[in-house]
Amino acid sequence: MTIGIHSEVESQHALLDGMSDGMATARAGLAAAALRFRRVFDTPRGRSRATAAAGAAGLLFLLMLLLKR
């Protein structure tokens, strides 16, 4: 009985270690993305480009919704 419990505990530890590694990778990716956004929004030219890109994406989304009906 204790052998079964021990193997279950080991498998759960391995699962938790894998989840920890995955979360660390996701955290690093989000930090890199936040740094890139910060770099873009630091300059006025970057802010205007980001605003234009967001506006174009919003316009295309609305156009898609209207044409889908």
Domain limits at 26? 2-68
Answer yes or no: pTM beyond 0.75: no
Helix axes 44-68, 2-42, angle to 10 degrees: 110
Helices and strands: H and E segment counts in the chain: 2, 0
Report the number of distinct structural domains present in the chain. 1
Contact between residue 15 and residue 5 where contact means Cβ atoms under 8 Å apart: no
- The tens digit of pLDDT for each residue in 10-67 reads 889 888 888 988 899 999 999 999 999 899 889 999 999 999 999 999 999 999 999 9
In the DSSP assignment, the letter for residue 43 is: S
Q: Give the Cα separation of 50 and 63 in Å (integer).
A: 20
Is the pLDDT assigned to residue 1 strictly greater than 70? no
